[in-house]
Amino acid sequence: MARHLLQRFLFTLPALWLVLTLVFLLIHIVPGDPVEQMLGEGAAPGQITQLRHGLGLDQPLYVQYGSYLERLAHGDLGQSLKFQAPVGRIIFERYPATLALAFVALLVCVAIAIPAGILAAHRRGRPADRAIGLFTLLGLAVPNFALGPVLILLFSIELGWLPVSGRGGPSYYVLPAVTLGAALAAILTRMVRGSMLEELSSDYVRTARAKGLSTGAVLFRHAFRNALIPIITILGLQFGTLLAGTIVTETIFSWPGIGRLTVQAISSRDYPLLQGCILVIAVSYVLVNLLTDFLYAVIDPRVRLS
């Protein structure tokens, strides 16, 4: 098991390198000068030249790239141009807020999607199935950058039930978690429904019903357990999407996480900080996929990892 997971992680290293390389090239190609943004429009040309030399931004692009890879190999993510602090420390301070929001959004998604998907499969073709299908259609059709402001207008401004922005107690998680997890809940509901329909048509389910088992036992003890593999696959893949999706959601709700930090790094042309944020998101995605592989063998003994 450990050897298999290690091999999978090593196979992802070229993908991580490619992501870092593309990000490095793109942020240097896009017009704009971080030195001018740091010093302001009234800075003297000599000050701009001196600061650019001090930051190493006057060197050729391949030299900057080599220096970045060398620092990265030693675990140094560099110094933030905007905050004048180590990138690793800044990300370490912000990342827990993003993880907490992503986990809450995932819990909200699972709490909605699994019961809804099982009910839709059990009531196939009936009004409950059609209503759940309409819910999934709306969840897929409305993007989070449109859903978030609507939820703020309704539940924060009009009704005054929930806070508008920031991070605090449990009430602060409700609107951003729902905004972040709505599309995933719609996707997962359809996946649960499809997997359950396939299992409910199997011979072992008909045998279980012929033995007189209750509907709940057939649905949850037999069919749902065997339907978990594709469901876990979707959850594993979409959790990485949740981490990336926080860029928009955290900006809408002023959430102090790595998504909002990424937007700040882009707007200020903070090369080291942006590269560090992308690296953390990419590594998180890889680790979630490795955890998904491990859960395959735990949930379904038929899965064997060499």
Considering the segment(s) 96-256 as one domain, its CATH architecture is Orthogonal Bundle (1.10)
CB atoms within 10 A of CB 153: 12
Identify which of 91, 102, 190 has the alpha carbon closest to the alpha carbon of residue 138. Answer: 190
Mean pLDDT of 9-36: 75
φ, ψ (nearest 5 deg) of residue 205: -70, -40
Write the DSSP symbol of residue 161.
Answer: -
Tokens 């290690």 locate to 6
Write the DSSP symbol of residue 163.
Answer: -
pLDDT of residue 306: 47
Mean pLDDT of 271-282: 84
Is residue 75 classed exposed, middle or buried when 0-12, 13-18 and 19+ CB atoms within 10 A define those classes? exposed
In percent, the amount of the chain with pLDDT more than 90 equals: 0
Distance set, CA 226 to CA 134, 196, 203, 207, 232 (Å):
26, 9, 13, 15, 11
Decide which of 240 and 68 is more confident: 68
Decide which of 32 and 287 is more confident: 287
Domain ranges of the chain: 96-256
Least confident interval from 73-82, 109-118, 130-139, 225-234: 225-234
In percent, the amount of the chain with pLDDT more than 70 equals: 84
CB atoms within 10 A of CB 244: 16
Mean pLDDT of 284-290: 77
pLDDT of residue 38: 64
pLDDT of residue 34: 67
pLDDT tens-digit profile of 148-173? 888 888 888 888 888 888 887 888 88
pLDDT of residue 280: 85
Mean pLDDT of 179-202: 82
Q: Is the pLDDT of residue 48 over 80?
A: no
**Distance from CA of residue 167 to its chain's centroid?**
18
pLDDT of residue 243: 72
pLDDT of residue 79: 82
